[in-house]
């Protein structure tokens, strides 16, 4: 491989990138826009659940339970109703997600020591949100029931019995359970995968359509020099995109960066190299911008978004899909980013993922060079 020829190809691509101002602006601005839109719009937090209350008892005991829901940050009492039909209308019109129904004999059963039950109605149209809301409601009612039990024991027996199990929960790495701390690192991987693959695939496909690639292939340049020369030019653009994504994640979304910056830079370079090589290989196979765009989106966006563990837990997927996810490079980069940002771990804990990214980058580079070896008939 000649460094002189490699430098010439890289310089040519840099000039091409600089002169194509609109594409350069899109390449640099699109990651920022995507991260801002997804970061603010995509959230798994379920807070301020709209709630209706149907209190059939109207006693201090029932109002105490209602106050527990009203004092929780997870619930937002939107009103009080006096019939089930009002709850059904509100659910049908998406005004509420949940309703709390307290029976007429709530206080009487409490004072007599009989078992007490309350009804919670939930809109199950969104099963994920409904299950989270149900967990919050069970937690509030459970804490209320535990205090009533302890109070009743003190009143009737003169002593207060301690619970045999006193759970002390401590959440590691994401103590506030903010979904942005979970989503934004994964968004960086998805965004870089899309931008890197589309940058190289569309640009080189345009050269196939214009005939410039045929002229380039007729020169003494070797296929590996063509691939590496083009890749180095777009590698600089990809690093700027990665830097902007990290800055947005840390300073705008306040995601903690507990790991080392150098390890983040090293793994990002590995991922970018493989993604750019993948885009070059797509362009060598497609040779038209439309087909390159379609292939790029199908092979970069969908796997990175659905099969990387970015949002959807891979452990909950069918076994066949879990096996397919093992060949998705974004899966390993998402694990690396979450480990660096949230856990502060290094290569000692993430060497499996780093080794896969290294092997993926080398393999795709060899395949892209092989495709470039085919001359135009």
Looking at the structure, tell me whether residues 104 and 244 fall in a common domain: no
Neighbours of 186 (CB within 10 A): 24
241 shares a domain with 221 = yes
Which residue has better confidence, 5 or 328?
A: 328
Bridge pairing between strands 49-55 and 75-80? parallel
Q: What pLDDT digit, counting tens, does each position of 130-147 carry?
A: 888 888 888 888 888 777
53 and 33 fall within a common domain: no
Cβ atoms < 10 Å from Cβ of 156 = 9
Indicate whether 201 and 81 sit together in one domain. no
Please check the confidence at residue 105 and state whether its pLDDT lies above 70.
yes
Dig out the tokens for 53 from the structure.
């209350």
Residues in the chain: 377
In this predicted structure, the answer to whether residue 221 has a pLDDT above a threshold of 80 is no
pLDDT for 253 beyond 50? yes
Phi and psi angles of residue 246, each rounded to the nearest 5 degrees, phi first: -65, -40
- Are 237 and 123 part of one and the same domain? no
Q: Does residue 34 share a domain with residue 67? A: no
Identify the band that residue 169 occupies on the pLDDT scale cut at 50, 70 and 90.
low
CA proximity to 144, closest of 104, 100, 196: 100
What is d(CA 301, CA 317) in angstroms, rounded to the nearest whole number?
Answer: 18
pLDDT at 246 over 70: yes
Regarding whether 150 and 87 lie in a shared domain, the answer is yes
Picking from 157, 189, 209, the residue at the C-terminal end of a domain is 157
Percent of the chain exceeding pLDDT 90 equals 15
What is the Cβ-side half-sphere exposure of residue 109, based on CA atoms within 13 angstroms? Answer: 13
Mean pLDDT (the chain) is 80
Q: How many domains does the chain have?
A: 2
DSSP element (H, E) containing 100: strand 98-102
Q: Is the pLDDT of residue 154 over 60?
A: no
63 and 8 assigned to the same domain: no
Which range of 17-31, 97-111, 258-272 scores highest in mean pLDDT? It is 258-272
Q: In the predicted model, is pLDDT for residue 164 greater than 60?
A: no
Quick one: pLDDT band at residue 359, thresholds 50, 70, 90?
very high
Nearest to 179 by CA among 45, 309, 342, 343: 45
Range of the domain at 79: 49-157
Residue 117, classed as helix, strand or coil, is: coil
The pLDDT score that the predictor gives to residue 198 is 75
| pLDDT score of 165 | 42
pLDDT score recorded for residue 170? 56
pLDDT at 130: 83
Global pTM value: 0.75
Q: Looking at the structure, do residues 27 and 118 belong to the same domain, yes or no?
A: no
The whole-angstrom separation of Cα 258 and Cα 339 is: 9
| Same structural domain, 185 and 323 | yes
* Residues with Cβ within 8 Å of residue 154, at least 6 apart in sequence: 160
The Cβ of residue 55 has, within 10 Å, a number of other Cβ atoms equal to 19
| pLDDT the model gives residue 358 | 94
User: Is 172 among the domain residues?
Assistant: no
In this model, does residue 166 exceed pLDDT 80?
A: no
Structural domain contains residue 167: no
For the purposes of burial, counting CB atoms within 10 Å of the CB of 16, is it exposed (0-12), middle (13-18) or buried (19 or more)?
middle
Q: Tens of pLDDT along 43-98?
A: 666 778 899 999 999 888 889 889 999 988 889 999 999 999 999 888 888 889 89
166 in a domain, yes or no? no
**CA neighbours closer than 13 Å in the CB half-sphere of residue 175:** 3
CA distance 255 to 178: 9
pLDDT score recorded for residue 24 = 74
Is 2 a residue whose pLDDT tops 80?
A: no
Residues 307, 310: Cα–Cα separation, whole Å? 8
pLDDT score recorded for residue 366: 87
318, 209: one domain: yes
CATH (domain of 65) = 3.40.1710.10
């Amino acid at each position: 491989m000649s460094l002189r020829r490699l430098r010439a190809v890289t310089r040519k691509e840099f000039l091409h990138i600089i002169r194509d101002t609109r594409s350069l602006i899109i390449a640099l601005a699109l990651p920022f826009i995507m991260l801002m839109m997804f970061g603010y719009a995509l959230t798994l937090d379920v807070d301020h659940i709209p709630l209706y209350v149907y209190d059939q008892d109207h006693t201090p005991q029932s109002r105490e339970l209602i106050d527990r829901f009203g004092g929780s940050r997870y619930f937002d009492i939107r009103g009080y109703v006096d019939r089930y039909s009002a709850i059904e209308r509100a659910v049908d019109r998406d005004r509420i997600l949940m309703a709390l129904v307290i029976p007429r004999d709530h206080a009487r059963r409490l004072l007599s020591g009989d078992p007490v039950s309350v009804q919670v109605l939930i809109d199950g149209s969104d099963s994920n949100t409904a299950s989270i809301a149900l967990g919050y409601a069970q937690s509030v009612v459970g804490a209320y029931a535990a205090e009533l039990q302890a109070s009743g024991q003190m009143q009737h027996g003169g002593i207060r019995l301690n619970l045999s199990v006193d759970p002390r929960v401590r959440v590691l790495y994401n103590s506030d359970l903010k979904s942005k701390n979970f989503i934004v690192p994964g968004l960086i991987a998805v965004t870089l995968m899309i931008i890197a693959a589309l940058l190289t695939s569309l640009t080189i496909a345009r050269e196939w359509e214009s005939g410039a690639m045929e002229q380039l292939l007729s020169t003494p340049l070797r296929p590996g020099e063509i691939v590496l020369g083009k890749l180095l030019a777009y590698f600089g653009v990809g690093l700027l995109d990665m830097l902007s994504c990290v800055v947005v994640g840390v300073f705008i979304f306040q995601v903690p960066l507990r790991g080392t910056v150098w390890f983040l830079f090293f793994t990002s370079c590995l991922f970018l190299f493989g993604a750019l090589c993948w885009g070059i290989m797509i362009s060598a196979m497609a040779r038209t911008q439309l087909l390159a765009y379609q292939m790029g989106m199908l092979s970069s966006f969908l796997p990175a978004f659905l099969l990387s563990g970015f949002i959807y837990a891979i452990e909950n997927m069918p076994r066949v899909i879990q096996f397919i996810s093992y060949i998705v490079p974004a899966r390993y980069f998402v694990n690396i980013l979450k480990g660096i940002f949230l856990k502060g771990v290094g290569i000692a804990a993430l060497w499996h993922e780093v080794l896969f990214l290294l092997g993926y980058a080398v393999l795709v580079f060899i395949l892209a060079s092989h495709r470039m070896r085919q001359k135009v008939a």
